[in-house]
Structure 1
Amino acid sequence: MGMGSGIVLFVIGAIMAFALNVQVEWIDLNMVGYLLMGAGAVVFFISLILFFSRRRGGGQVDPVDRGIE
């Protein structure tokens, strides 16, 4: 899951929480929307952190040849 899926989860959650006026007996759609918004925000920020941590540290080349001929 990347940044895009976090945004999609957040948008679907916002639609469920704020735009739907449907009452279902066995589930609270507003709470599900808030949970999806929270999960989307968490996924987005975790993928953002991982994205920037990958760009910062990699790319170091070992100057010693490991015997590949």
Structure 2
Amino acid sequence: MRIGTSIGLIALGLILALAVRIDLGGIDLELIGWILTIVGIIGLIASVVLARQARPVVRREAEYPPPPPHPADPRYPDPRY
């Protein structure tokens, strides 16, 4: 779960828990809202912790030879003369 998804779950859960007042028979939207909010908070914490972990740095020790020089352009005279 990424940070944006976590924030979306938190927003959706708080809307269901605090703003929606619809009776759907056997479904408690307030409880579902609080569950989504808690899942979103846990996901946000996990995303931030995973994003802050140090990533390995790969260093290349090989030395590459310099590239060959470009051939002289026949349209221009040699500047050394």
Higher RCO structure, 1 or 2 (CA under 8 Å, sep 6+): 1
TM range (shorter): 0.7 to 0.9
Tell me the distance in 1 between the aligned counterparts of 2:58 and 2:42: 30
Which structure features the higher share of helix residues? 1
Tell me the distance in 1 between the aligned counterparts of 2:9 and 2:39: 7
Query: What runs of 5+ residues in structure 2 fail to find an aligned partner?
Result: 63-81
The CA deviation string for residues 35-67 of structure 1, in whole angstroms up to 9 with x for no partner, is 0000000111101000001xx24214364x6xx
* Structural RMSD (CA): 1.3
**Normalising by the residue count of structure 2, what TM-score does the alignment of the two structures yield?**
0.69
User: What does 1:16-27 correspond to in 2, within 5 Å?
Assistant: 16-27=16-27
Kindly name which structure, 1 or 2, has the bigger radius of gyration based on alpha carbons: 2
Tell me the distance in 2 between the aligned counterparts of 1:46 and 1:59: 23
The CA deviation string for residues 8-58 of structure 1, in whole angstroms up to 9 with x for no partner, is 0000000000000101111100000000000000111101000001xx242
What's 1:49 paired with? 49
Query: What runs of 5+ residues in structure 1 fail to find an aligned partner?
Result: none
